[in-house]
Chains A and B, each alone.
Chain A
Amino acid sequence: MSEPILRVRGLTTTFGDGALHAVRDVSFDVMPGEVLGLVGESGSGKSVTLRSLLRLLPAGGRVAGSVCWHGRDVLAMNEAELRGVRGGEISMIFQEPMTALNPVLPIRVQIEENLRAHTKLDGRGRRARARELMDLVGIPDAARRLDEFPHQFSGGMRQRAMIAIALASDPKLLLADEPTTALDVTIQDQILKLILELRDELAMSVVFVTHDLGVVSATCDRMAVMYAGRIVEEGAVADVFACPRHAYTHGLLGSVPQAGAERSMLLSIEGTPPGLARIPEGCAFNPRCDFATDICRRTRPRLAEMSPGHHAACHNAGAVAAAGSPVRRAMRDG
């Protein structure tokens, strides 16, 4: 087994003088060349986790814990060191390309800016590399389009341009924050396939934040499910889909309509995710949980290994596993 390239331990992010815990004690590893999915609903802390890795937080946000990148702790770096890693060895792409790109600069300037910051290329080299990058992400007619502005690009092309900027520094890890949520399904499909191709070609790892279980199933190798700021289940995508061990994952999988069960009632989760200021005692999921017992209301379950590489934080993991996967059931009946 190879060494993880990123090792996150006890990541905790707070806002407003420690009053609100957006992320609590999150630990995970990213292996070389793998795609890790961080899954959760709005407010689960998945995006904040991703941003905390690079200390990209709004004012008032504080990160504790450690993010170990090649033996160095990103959270302990000084500004100069951090600039070398952020946008260099670790790049990030965002959900809404129109707000992430600078509207008054042509795409060429935005790509070359990153090349200037993170490579030793001269002007001619940068120009050639910018064109190569546009080809790499599949933007046709690169020479002309480099001089265009973001508003002249369609949504899918903007996302490609943003990926080109992220790749300029030859990153070893790409952090993707819901990169396809704003796109149509045929364009989403193109961008997901592009990210997978680039992963193979450039031997990067990818951390992929999404709320869409279909996207996870189509692109990720491993997944971590987040609820109320904590990881509640983590494992290989095939294992988690085949046998969820946490009641929340079980409910989430059951909420997705599946072929062969048309017009039947979906296995929904009652209620709504808790606000950060009012996280329930014990297991944060207990008020919405069908499997909840007394112990769930009193003590918070710890993340424990259920089978090799498959962790879950649920007191009733056995009962959840025995209930079987909602995905498998639909597949079998269909």
Chain B
Amino acid sequence: MAEALLSAIDVSKDFAIPRSLLQWARREPPAAVHALNGVSLDVQRGETLGIVGESGCGKSTLARCLVRLLDCDDGRVVYDGTDIATLSGAERRRFNARVQMIFQDPYSSLNPRMSVRQILSEALRVHRMRPPGEIDARVAELLDTVRLPPDAADRHPHAFSGGQRQRIGIARALAVEPEVLVADELVSALDVSVQAQVVNLLLELQDRLSLTVVFVAHDLRLVRHISHRVAVMYLGKVVEVAPTERLFRDPRHPYTQALLAAAPEIDPGRRTHRAAARGELPSPINLPSGCLFRTRCPHAFDRCRSEVPTLTPRGPVHVAACHLDHPEPTE
């Protein structure tokens, strides 16, 4: 098995909810959104790891913890053998250059007052990637890499469409020659035909620059297309990890099964008439006891209420967190 380049080890993250005056007077205990509840996950060198889940499952929080935009409350994130929480000064800057993030919203993640040249050369200057004289040449090279015309350098973000802005975001991340790209919902703000362009670009760049990619998304079809391995998250926990083909062919966690069944099939010949999952996501403020999915699970039994299932092997590189070894998919 390949070595883990970036790992999350039992990572937890809470966001405190401010108490109102009334709650304070009633001496109610402070509440918190439990965004991550003990996530353990390895990213291997050279692979694309897909992280899927619905809104509120903690996938974006995890992405932010992986690049240390957020510090985790509990647990560690280890990059290349070092706990990233211990890094400071020059070491931390080096880490920041090795692990880069691309954001979801191409409209808010680029500074509207800076030209593309300024956006890209800022990254090059801060990390001293090139001597000042070579910066312009490198900017041109980066634009070419993401297939933007050379005259794009002197325009501002508002002059570009969503897909082009996302390319600028990719170019900015690539400017510092990273090893790992963490892409949070890279294409979900884009139109279908433009999504395909950006996905193709990412696949091509990954091969050419041998990047390791963490691809966070809610779109199962997209994650299936792009990832070598997929981790499924539910309410701040990883419930199943497996190689893509295996996960889609033989999902072992009831939530994964429901998620796959709920995704509309692109083939009109294969329609179902029953909804795949009942109920809705419980509140991340008051989590259910035991297994977090038990409130919606068709297989739930007594043990699920009392005991938290851990990730256990279901095959050579396949783990799932369910008390049942092989729950039968419903319908």
* Chain A residues within 8 Å of B, Cβ to Cβ: 41-42, 154, 156-157, 184-190, 192-194, 196, 211-215, 217-219, 237-238, 241, 251-259, 261-263, 265-270, 272-273, 327, 331
Contact = CB atoms under 8 A, between A and B. Distances in A.
Residue among A41, A154, A254, A272 facing the most chain B CB atoms (10 A cut-off): A272
B268 A217 contact: yes
A218 B161 contact: no
Interface stretch (B31-39, B77-85, B191-199, B319-327): B191-199
Contact of A189 (B191, B194, B224, B276): B276
A190 B274 CA distance: 8
Residue among B193, B196, B224, B275 facing the most chain A CB atoms (10 A cut-off): B193
A257 B197 contact: no
7 shortest interchain CB distances as A-B pairs = A257-B225, A214-B264, A268-B196, A189-B262, A218-B264, A255-B196, A184-B54
A254 B266 CA distance: 11
B266 A214 contact: yes
Contacts of A255: 192-193, 195-196
A185 B163 CA distance: 24
Nearest to B207: A263
Interface string B228-272: 100000000000000011001000000000110111111111010
B276 A213 contact: no
A148 to B, nearest CB: 15
B220 interface: yes
Contacts of B226: 257, 262-263
B236 to A, nearest CB: 15
Given A186-B276, A262-B244, A263-B203, A214 B191 contact: no
B200 A218 contact: no
Contacts of B269: 238
Nearest to A196: B273
Given A185-B220, A252-B192, A217 B267 contact: yes
Contacts of B195: 255
Given A256-B221, A262-B225, A193 B196 contact: no
Nearest to A241: B268
A263 to B, nearest CB: 6
A154 B274 CA distance: 21
9 contacts: A156-B280, A218-B268, A238-B269, A257-B221, A257-B222, A262-B226, A263-B226, A266-B225, A268-B197
Given A261-B225, A265-B200, A265-B203, A189 B277 contact: yes
Contacts of A254: 196
B199 A266 contact: yes
A211 B194 CA distance: 13
B55 interface: yes
B45 to A, nearest CB: 17
Contacts of B280: 154, 156-157, 187
A186 B277 contact: yes
Interface string B276-292: 11101100000000000
Contacts of A262: 224-226, 244-245
A156 B277 CA distance: 13
